[in-house]
Amino acid sequence: MIHPGAPLVIRAARAEECHALTALAMRSKAHWGYDPAFLERARADLTVDPRAVARGDAFVAERAGNVAGFYWLDAAREAPELMALFVEPPMIGTGVGRALLAHALAQAASRGGRRLIIQSDPFAEGFYLAMGAVRVGSKASAVDASRMLPLMEVRIEA
């Protein structure tokens, strides 16, 4: 069990963690009540890209040596995009997501980004709004084109 009061450490993801991080993404998505059929259709979209890990674009949050969450960033774009940010369900609401997003913003800034683009799950939109993101539109889900997802943006201070 991950102790929520233990210090949080954010480090680069390792290649051998891709499968475990994908499983974490699936558990985190399931937390919001999505049915198993939808989750199975979403698996490809939730799979951690080993190339992102190799490029140094994926980061893991650990508490007491246990993975508490992760994110991956596509920093190769003109405006970096947050491709994934997931937290272990028991750790949701403990500051892990906040720390990961702050780290992602710092990473985007260090790579010249002036804004961070986020295609949010509808259940995560409130979190991103609370963190300073603004909704700039919507985008069709890669899993179900009839499902529109919030498209958000965070301005990065110089």
pLDDT tens column, 15-70: 999 999 999 999 999 999 999 999 999 999 999 989 889 988 999 999 999 999 99
Q: What is the pTM of this model?
A: 0.92
pLDDT for the residue 48: 94
Q: Give the pLDDT confidence of 71-109 residue by residue, as tens digits.
A: 999 987 788 999 999 999 999 999 999 999 999 999 999
User: Using H for helix, E for strand and C for coil, what is the string for the chain?
Assistant: CCCCCCCEEEEECCHHHHHHHHHHHHHHHHCCCCCHHHHHHHHHHHCCCHHHHHHCCEEEEEECCEEEEEEEEECCCCCCEEEEEEECHHHCCCCHHHHHHHHHHHHHHHCCCCEEEEECCHHHHHHHHHCCCEEEEEEECCCCCCCEEEEEEEECCC
